[in-house]
Amino acid sequence: MRRTEWVLDRTEATSERGMVAAKHELAAEAGAQVLEAGGNAVDAAVATAFTVGVVEPFMNGIGGGGLMLIYLADRRQTIAIDFAMAAPRAARPDMYKLLDATSPSMFGWRAVRDDANIHGPLSIAVPGTVAGLALAAERYGTMPLHELMQPAIRYARQGFPVSWHTSFEIAQDLELLNRYPSTRAIFTRDGLPWPVLTGLEQTMLVQADLARSLETIAERGPAVFYRGELGRALVEGLRGLGAILTEDDLRAYEVRVTEPLWGRYRGYRVAAAPAPSGGPTLLECLHLMDCFDLRASGHNTVETLHRLIEAFRQAFVDRFAYLADPVFADVPVAALTDPEYAREQAARIGERARPAVEPGDPERLGVSRRYARSMPNYGTGSTTHLSVVDRWGNA
């Protein structure tokens, strides 16, 4: 007698002339079509990123920010573009009433009354996505921004099929989406999650206002978002809700083009995004793992998993004790990503899990203090990732 069993599998995409990896197939296909049309990796990444902002509205969008690492094969050069969000200049700590509890956000900070730092008018930062993607296309791409934005515009205007995952994400945030009339109107059907199927037809999620905004940016460039009528409308609408974002905040926004962080792992040089990001944490993880012979301890063995877990615990404890924006705070990035520091911390990892993992000593890391300790809470998340490589070796 045999019992049926679930077999979970998927086919593997392969290519010899470029590849796009994204968390939504429509976004990846938009980038792949750019590669097929002769665009380079940056062109494809920009097209994919704008499209992702439409088909993954719960993860990111033109109201957010990001980071991009670019490898230019002909120059053998790696560049980091930082277009993270920035706080409005009127932001002050006393705008938020702290509570004696832990925040439900992934960062595990002190909770704030009404979660005012997470959603609502006082959570709005200066967005960087439009400026960052436009700069990447202009400086390192080969195709016009207008052309790269067409897939995103099309999916926003005509809609895209609601998948089970899209409906699930809407259901998770249903109470929050229903709190604001604009999000209720777009992302719910009379206050309920959009169904995957209506009868035998796929439900389409249409974002007409977003399509018009994207069209305006495509036709007139990022200046209309930061110094023109689109930015003015954005500020007026948000300030009507109580936000502190101003047109001066938008005009003053600047993308940072800089060197990546560098580390080493098993003989390879590894480029990572600079702080404030996961880059320093990634390099600290790799440097800690490099202190152990994981090949000898074996794949997925108790010994290997124990060492990985303890390495990741150390890196994330350090992250949540020390990392902030280096423009505004003293951040020991060089010390945290120093292989010697990793060797010192790896020596503390024994055969058993530590009851508690402490962040590195401030004096050892060369800073005067560490920030109020917080621990991550991975109940929620709102980010995405994509990777592109083209036929010429750009990535």
- Phi and psi dihedrals of 264, rounded to 5? -135, 145
What is the DSSP secondary-structure string of 132-176?
A: HHHHHHHHH-SS-HHHHTHHHHHHHHH-EEPPHHHHHHHHHTHHH
Distance from C-alpha of 58 to C-alpha of 156, rounded to nearest angstrom: 14
What is the DSSP secondary-structure string of 42-90?
A: HHHHHHHHHHHHHH-TTT--TTS-EEEEEEETTTTEEEEEEE--B--TT
Distance from C-alpha of 327 to C-alpha of 339, rounded to nearest angstrom: 24
Q: Considering 198, 258, 301, 383, which one is annotated as catalytic?
A: 383
Distance from C-alpha of 362 to C-alpha of 365, rounded to nearest angstrom: 5
Tokens at 190, concatenated:
């009379």
281 catalytically annotated: no
Q: Single out the residue of 87, 132, 393, 76 nearest to residue 257, CA to CA.
A: 132
Tokens at 71, concatenated:
């490898």
Task: Classify residue 8 by burial, with Cβ atoms within 10 Å: 0-12, 13-18, 19+.
Answer: exposed
Q: Give bridge partners of residue 269 from the DSSP assignment.
A: 264
Distance from C-alpha of 333 to C-alpha of 13, rounded to nearest angstrom: 37
Which residues are known to be catalytic?
383
